[in-house]
Homo-oligomer: A and B are copies of this chain.
Amino acid sequence: MVSFFNPTNYSYLTSLIGHMSGLSHLRATQLFTEELNGLELTPKQVIALEFIANNPTVSQKEIAAHIGTTPTVMVGVLDALAKRGLVERVRSAEDRRRHSVAVTPAGHDILPKIETAAKAVETRLMAESNLTSAEWDQLIVLMQKLTNREEKL
């Protein structure tokens, strides 16, 4: 294990996954907001849109579980996306409690812009960090293992 506890000065913050992932997340979302460049989408809206595009007819509960939020949050996220015509909620015929959410043509139209922004973020993050390309790939793999997202999306 990496040096973890230092009883003399308690200087172990940078060895905590929680703290370090918080710093990473903050910086990534800052850059992403910049790169979205007036697209006016929040990070959760973007993530939900991408997830739905790749998993059509998914339920709101399933979206929430997979992208790491709650059904409660999904209501607001989908309201915002639906209001702009990017997704559609359709009552499931088999189970009328369920909403089968789908991305509209308009929604599909902006996916490339989101990808461009995402790519720009990775480029900038890599440039301002001390990571090589190989280390970057390693980091992604390790984070996927940490969050049990190796195979799932």
Interface residues of A (CB under 8 A from B): 1-2, 4-5, 9-29, 31-32, 43, 47, 50-51, 53-54, 67-68, 111, 115, 118-119, 121-122, 125, 128-131, 133, 135-150, 152-153
Contact = CB atoms under 8 A, between A and B. Distances in A.
B54 A10 contact: yes
A135 B130 contact: no
Number of copies: 2
A11 B146 contact: no
Contacts of A143: 17, 20-21, 23-24, 139
Given A21-B143, A54-B9, A115-B10, A2 B130 contact: no
10 contacts: A1-B136, A2-B137, A17-B139, A18-B25, A20-B140, A21-B28, A21-B143, A129-B145, A139-B143, A139-B146
Given A115-B10, A129-B148, A139-B146, A121 B24 contact: no
A77 to B, nearest CB: 14
A100 to B, nearest CB: 18
A153 B3 CA distance: 13
A141 B2 contact: yes
A27 B22 CA distance: 11
Contact of A17 (B18, B24, B50, B68): B24
A142 B21 CA distance: 11
B13 A153 contact: yes
